[in-house]
Amino acid sequence: MTVQRLELDPDAIVREAANLTAADLDELPFGTIHLDPTGMIRSYNRAEEQLSGRLRKDVVGRNFFRDVAPCTRVQRFFGTFQEGVSRGALNEVFDFSFRFPTGTREVRIRMIYSDNPAPGVWIFITPMQPM
């Protein structure tokens, strides 16, 4: 599957996840984070580095909700994650405000649970306004 097709279909990313390289994820025009069931970051793409101002080398292997983005420890975000992991099923879309030292960024979040390549949650982040 081509990356151009993936840009239009986050579900395809989840289906093809086992075959995607970090370079493939870096070609996507939106933030892509893959978390294990405990919230540890497995992957973090270039678009998310640009959106958050955080380098993947500083976040991969850390807990997203506790160490990287503690502002997400709210029911709408963390609660949705926990419920999806508990059920083994999640496909939610919602708007969220990230508060950075440089200002607030309004984004659309899509969370999808997947067992491919291992159990976890994919988070796709799209800015509501161009960066």
Handedness of CA 96, 102, 103, 106 (dihedral sign): negative
> What pLDDT shows up at residue 63?
98
Q: What digits encode the pLDDT tens for the residues 62-105?
A: 999 999 999 999 999 999 999 999 999 999 999 999 987 778 88
Domain 3-127 has CATH 3.30.450.20: yes
The domain limits of the chain are 3-127
Q: Which of 42, 15, 123, 11 is nearest to 78 (CA)?
A: 123
